[in-house]
């Protein structure tokens, strides 16, 4: 079970200061959508150059133009990109094809999309990774994943989980048998980021 740190609602310098404290504990570095909007894909390139041995995820949330959007993100150094599950299946397939051509990874973000047929559709076009994602505005103090995501337990997807996760509520997400646990403010907004990242990584180790 890998730990992914989500860098969002941070300045350029804050991203690098945070990574300097937590890089020993995290497996995947996510550059969040808001950070990319603020600083462009150049920050993806800069972080990959600084941490070449880490997997870097660009949370570009592709909705259209799958091939060109994917290739651009990969050109800037992303190892993993995201596409939205509500996008046209042709768009998602184009992202999958672009990733396979470069031996990269695509994660389909299931944020706020509950079509019961979506998993069959994603499997049919070769999707391997999905994100069981509870958005920032959806959390509203609730903890635990959406019951809809329970359908993933009967599938063979590589599952990422995200949505207000920290060391106190982590166990509420583990019934999805995630391969990757994403933590944002649970690390980035605390004073001792190194200690917190280490604590969460140690907790994940108990379930590997």
Tens digits of residue pLDDT in 191-200: 999 999 999 9
Do residues 74 and 106 lie in contact, with contact meaning Cβ atoms separated by under 8 Å?
no
Question: 190 by DSSP, 3-state: which?
Answer: coil
Cβ neighbours of residue 162 closer than 8 Å, sequence gap 6 or more: 6, 131, 132, 133, 134, 182, 184
Average pLDDT over residues 148-169: 93
pLDDT in tens, 172-187: 888 899 999 999 999 9
| pLDDT higher than threshold 90 for residue 135 | no
| pLDDT higher than threshold 70 for residue 137 | no
- pLDDT score for 116: 87
Average pLDDT over residues 83-90: 98
- pLDDT score for 139: 62
Structure tokens at 111: 């944020």
The alpha helices in the chain, defined as continuous H runs, are 12-22, 33-39, 42-50, 66-75, 89-101, 118-124, 136-139, 185-188, 193-205
Crossing angle of helices 66-75 and 89-101, in 10° steps, is 30
Average pLDDT over residues 67-89: 98
* Average pLDDT value over all residues in the chain: 94
- pLDDT score for 108: 98
| pLDDT higher than threshold 60 for residue 144 | no
- Give how far Cα 154 sits from Cα of 105, 106, 150, Å: 22, 20, 8
Structure letter (DSSP) for residue 100? H
């Amino acid at each position: 079970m890998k730990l992914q740190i989500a860098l969002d609602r941070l300045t350029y310098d804050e991203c690098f200061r945070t990574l300097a404290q937590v890089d020993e504990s995290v497996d995947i570095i996510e550059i969040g959508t808001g950070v990319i909007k603020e600083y462009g894909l150049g920050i993806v390139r800069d972080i990959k150059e600084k941490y070449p041995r880490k997997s870097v995820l660009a949370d570009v949330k592709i909705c259209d133009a799958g091939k060109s959007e994917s290739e651009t993100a990969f050109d800037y150094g992303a190892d993993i990109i995201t596409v939205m599950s509500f996008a046209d299946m042709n768009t998602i397939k184009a992202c999958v094809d672009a990733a396979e051509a470069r031996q990269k990874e695509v994660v389909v973000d299931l944020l706020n999309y509950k079509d019961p047929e979506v998993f069959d559709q994603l499997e049919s076009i070769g999707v391997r990774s999905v994100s069981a994602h509870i958005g920032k505005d959806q959390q509203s103090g609730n903890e635990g994943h959406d019951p809809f995501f329970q359908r993933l337990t009967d599938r063979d997807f590589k599952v990422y989980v995200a949505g207000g996760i920290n060391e106190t509520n982590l166990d509420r997400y583990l019934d999805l048998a995630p391969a990757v646990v994403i933590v944002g403010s649970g690390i980035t907004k605390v004073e001792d980021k190194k200690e917190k990242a280490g604590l969460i990584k140690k907790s994940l180790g108990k379930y590997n």
